[in-house]
Amino acid sequence: MILIADSGSTKTDWCYGTETANCKIVQTEGINPFHQSEEKIRSIIHDELLPQLDTPLQRCTAIYFYGAGCLPSKTASIIQVLQEFFPGADISVETDLLGAARALCKNNAGIACILGTGSNSCLYDGEKIIRNIPPLGYILGDEGSGAYLGKRFIGDCLKGQLPEILQHGLQEKLNLTISEILDNVYRRPQANRFLASLTPYIYEHKRMPQVHAFLLDCFGEFFRRNVLLYPQLYPVSFVGSIAWFFHEELEESAHSFHIPLGIFIKSPIDELMHYHLSHY
């Protein structure tokens, strides 16, 4: 049996099985070693993942973990925890970006992008990532991501750059006062998740002309500060919830930059399952 994980800051999709016909997919809280301690990662796997696995743990021979924040300097905690629970498995921990590239491009060259809670992009040669514009996180970068949209949207609402009715909606429908917003952003952990949690509200109002223009500007920032820095020789493909639900606005923004588009997928886990089981 092999175990495959695609982990973002919000959720982790886990797929396990021996062939595509018998694979099962379960979910846990997101695992990000940049934001979480080894103890927290251990509790997620022990309390959320293991109870959902209906097969003996010793049957797992290989684990492929793709995750946000999984830079080489940050992967030791995940490897350590996985070794504790799956002592006989060969463990590979890579960035979620490589997972996205493999899911989107398979063995072909292309530009692969993630737009979820965070954002990222790379130039992929069909085997490995050969160039990556650093995403820099939701404070310095992550343009086009859920956290970036939420940050910009709240700021624009509270500073009167968007219709007043949208600010009223934040306060009345979502029950968010300015003090609660500031507390969630500046005092509580994982503000990126809180900011990204506002995207369903943005989606609900995306047909409003001012919100439509706001979205085009946000996605334009993603293209200008990331995609346009790669050689424009390959189609650009996307994975992630933001890319999936706002694909119309993404396509409109891409066309304004004359950027060729590839495919859109909501989650890479199914494609990663096929990718790894074909080599298993």
**Tens of pLDDT along 136-181?**
988 999 999 999 999 999 999 999 999 999 988 888 878 888 888 8
Residue 174 DSSP code: S
Q: What mean pLDDT do residues 79-106 have? A: 93
| pLDDT tens digits along 18-66 | 877 788 999 999 998 888 889 999 999 999 999 999 877 778 899 999 9
Helix, strand, coil shares of the chain, percent, nearest 5, are: 50, 20, 30
pLDDT value, residue 280: 52
* Contact in structure between 206 and 99 (CB atoms under 8 Å): no
β-strand partners of 6: 13, 66
Matching CATH number, 2-100+268-277, of 2.60.120.430, 2.60.120.330, 3.40.50.300, 3.30.420.40: 3.30.420.40
Reported pTM: 0.83
What are the residues whose beta carbons fall under 8 Å from the beta carbon of 20, sequence distance 6 or more? 273, 274, 277
Average pLDDT, the chain: 91
Q: Please state, in angstroms and as integers, the Cα–Cα distance from residue 100 to each residue in 75, 105, 114, 116, 233, following that order.
A: 18, 8, 7, 12, 19
Which is more confidently placed, 114 or 70? 114
Q: What is the pLDDT of residues 217-269, one digit of tens each?
A: 999 999 999 999 998 789 999 999 999 999 999 999 999 999 999 999 988 99
Q: Regarding beta strands 236-239 and 110-115, do their DSSP bridges make them parallel or antiparallel, or are they unpaired? A: parallel
% of residues, the chain, pLDDT over 90: 66
